[in-house]
Amino acid sequence: MENILPPANKDANLRDYRQARQSFDWKEVEQEFSWHHTGKVNMAYEAIDRHADDPTRGQRFCLIYEDENRTEKITYHQMRDLSNKFANVLRKLGVEKGDRVSIFLPRCPEYYIAMVGCAKVGAIFCPLFEALMEVAVGERLTDSEANVLVTTPEMARRVPFIDRPYLRHIILVGAKNMALKSSEVSWEEEMARAPYDFDIEWVDLEDPLYLIYAFGSTGNPKGALHVHRDMVGYLITAQWVLDLRDDDVLWTTADPGWITGTVYGAFAPWLCGVENLVRGGRFDLEGWCRSIQSHRVTVWYTAPTVFQRLMGKGEELMKGYDLHSLRHILSVGEPLASEVVYWGRRVFGTPIHDTWWMTETGMIMIANYPSMPIKPGAIGKPLPGIVAAVVDPQGEELPPLTLGELAIKKGWPAMMRGIWHDEELYREYFSREPWYISGDVAYMDDDGYFYFQGREDDLIKVAGVMVGPTEIEEALKGHPAVADAGIISKPDPLRGNMIKAFIALKPGFFPTKRLKEELIEYMKKHFSPRIVPKEIEFRSNIPRSEEGTVIRRVLKAWELGLPA
């Protein structure tokens, strides 16, 4: 296979990466917003209302929603009216600028209407992932001191009933004609009564827009605060990374409870005025292919695990659908295996383009652009306007091909503005001026491409050398017998630590001593002996998160014989 793939589309929105880096100015991006001329700022206006009265864009579908039981299409004009109605509901309940509104719903149109309505009143919306259970929901409600919760009667059973004097109202979706408590109101009944007109709360660019939670290093959730100025980063990444054009249909598969679903599943495509697909329910290979075909999806942004499932079981099924509408495909959440990049080119006619960013960065920071050659295995190059580097523990830049921490020079528009109720933790991210320290381990090659190698906590020190587990896992998956792999370290009296591999085999292969020996010899062709796994344990599967990340604490629990 080639080490470098040619550009997938030389006529992309970002045609000359090098020139763009040299001439880029964030102020030029700001000129594309109405507030640059009017001084009136609100994300909801720029994303929805600005398009609503346009003869063409106003009739486009800002939300095409479907699941097994429901299909609904909402134009930009209709979304303006519906979000106005919900903003009036919030105003009636006494919600003011700066109040927190937690949204705990399954993927559904009401989730997106609520987000826009919150922005219109100047409230801070807090999107919650629908699979969260009682403890996690309680932690987030308590930390944010949510004033209003939007949920369903079924999901409300996962809301722990403890004394929360700040939680004034619960808006229930699907509770029409139900007997409600004094603090509860029905979404359907209140929306039916609410007027269509609403005077938007104009805000400052630095006023908070949403508070989104990720797991911290201690296991406790941390709330990253993002502001209305984020829209500047959303727009340029939608144009240059997602390559969105006027007639596109985008499908970002992430749940709105995760930042990818909030940003690139809602606000970024809306800022561009394109049509936006949301599919509810569980992952279903046939259903997903049917959605791409029926809605003529042109740009698809999803996770590596989706491609792995399609490669494993879905390729024959895919032949029964017309997926030729797809012109640009992107990945996020976990390193993208080289084989997936090549597979995408063979099956879809375009390679899969990896991207890197975080809840804290608020927008895509490093990517493979459609007009740029791809090096499979690389997360790409920094967005024009972004300065990225690999640094040492003192914050000094490291030379190419040296493992270190991935850092971004602070000051980009979508950078989080705080960790809710934890100023000390926020300062830690910027402890090595002028860098934001991501906690991700990476290296950069001589051409300026970056390669993600894992989280800092995952680094393994063997014989004085720091080793990132991701590259070892990807090498193991290159063996014909290996379906998946996970790496951990364990104590070794001679080296301090040694590398152990957990391996899931492909159908038709069986765990034997001979296969272990074969795998070790195979790895010696890739790495020096000290980096080759000294132990191999076969398992039926490798535990991964929803984003596709190896859950190493489970691997370590297996090793120690503890509950996983």
- For residues 58 and 270, what is the distance between their CA atoms, to the nearest angstrom? 11
- For residues 103 and 346, what is the distance between their CA atoms, to the nearest angstrom? 40
188 phi and psi angles, rounded to 5 deg: -60, -45
Q: Please state the pTM of the whole predicted model.
A: 0.83
Task: Give the pLDDT score at 526.
Answer: 74
Q: What is the pLDDT of residues 487-525, one digit of tens each?
A: 988 876 555 678 899 999 999 999 999 999 999 999 887
- In order, the DSSP letters of 483-542 are EEEEEEEEEETTTEEEEEEEEEEPTT----HHHHHHHHHHHHTTS-GGGS-SEEEE-S--
Q: 330: Cβ–Cβ under 8 A, 6 or more apart, which residues?
A: 241, 242, 299, 300, 301, 302, 352, 353, 354, 355, 367
330 phi and psi angles, rounded to 5 deg: -130, 160
What's the chain's average pLDDT?
91
- In 344-432, where do the E strands start and end? 352-356, 366-367, 381-382, 388-391, 404-409, 418-419
Residue 424: pLDDT band by 50, 70, 90 thresholds? very high
Judged by average pLDDT, the poorest of 46-55, 208-217, 392-401 is 208-217
CB contact at 8 A, 321 and 293: yes
User: What's the token pair of residue 462?
Assistant: 């063997």
Q: 111: Cβ–Cβ under 8 A, 6 or more apart, which residues?
A: 103, 105, 127, 256
Q: What is the pLDDT of residues 436-484, one digit of tens each?
A: 999 888 899 999 999 987 776 666 767 555 576 877 888 899 899 999 9
CB contact at 8 A, 148 and 118: no
Burial letters for 294-326: b for 16+ Cβ neighbours within 10 Å, e otherwise? ebbbbbbbbbbbbbbebeeebeeebeeeebeeb
User: What's the token pair of residue 497?
Assistant: 């630590």
Q: Is 217 helix (H, G, I), strand (E, B) or coil?
A: coil
At residue 346, does pLDDT exceed 50? yes
Task: Give the pLDDT score at 1.
Answer: 47
Q: Which CATH number fits domain 459-560: 3.90.850.10, 3.30.1330.10, 3.40.50.300, 3.30.300.30?
A: 3.30.300.30
Locate CATH 3.40.50.12780 in the chain.
17-442
Cα angle: 89, vertex 92, 97; to 5 degrees: 90
Task: Give the pLDDT score at 470.
Answer: 78
**Helix boundaries (H) for 14-102:** 17-23, 26-30, 35-38, 43-44, 50-52, 76-92
Judged by average pLDDT, the poorest of 170-184, 503-517, 528-542, 543-557 is 543-557
At residue 239, does pLDDT exceed 90? yes
Which percentage of the chain shows pLDDT scores above 90? 73
Domain 17-442 is classified in which CATH homologous superfamily? ANL, N-terminal domain (3.40.50.12780)
Neighbours of 76 (CB within 10 A): 25
Task: Give the pLDDT score at 282.
Answer: 86
- In order, the DSSP letters of 279-324 are E-SS--HHHHHHHHHHHT--EEEE-HHHHHHIIIIIHHHHTTS--T
- For residues 12 and 532, what is the distance between their CA atoms, to the nearest angstrom? 41
CB contact at 8 A, 490 and 501: no
Task: Give the pLDDT score at 423.
Answer: 94
Locate CATH 3.30.300.30 in the chain.
459-560
User: What's the token pair of residue 216?
Assistant: 């911290």
Q: Which residues pair with 303 in a beta bridge?
A: none
User: What's the token pair of residue 141?
Assistant: 């409600």
CB contact at 8 A, 111 and 256: yes
Of residues 435 and 529, the one with the higher pLDDT is 435
Which percentage of the chain shows pLDDT scores above 70? 94
- For residues 259 and 244, what is the distance between their CA atoms, to the nearest angstrom? 19
Instruction: Taking residues 137-151, report their average pLDDT.
Output: 94
Q: 514: Cβ–Cβ under 8 A, 6 or more apart, which residues?
A: none
Q: Which amino acid is at 417?
A: R
User: What's the token pair of residue 428?
Assistant: 């830690």
Residue 2: pLDDT band by 50, 70, 90 thresholds? low
Task: Give the pLDDT score at 472.
Answer: 85
User: What's the token pair of residue 20?
Assistant: 């763009």
Sign of CA dihedral 169, 172, 173, 179: negative
Residue 178: pLDDT band by 50, 70, 90 thresholds? confident
Q: Is 184 helix (H, G, I), strand (E, B) or coil?
A: strand
Cis peptide, bond prior to residue 153, ω within 30 of zero: no
Task: Give the pLDDT score at 457.
Answer: 64
Q: What is the pLDDT of residues 285-332, one digit of tens each?
A: 899 999 999 999 999 999 988 888 888 777 888 889 999 999 999 999
Sign of CA dihedral 557, 561, 562, 564: positive
- For residues 6 and 9, what is the distance between their CA atoms, to the nearest angstrom? 9
Sheet containing strand 435-444, edge to edge, reads: 388-391, 404-409, 435-444, 450-455
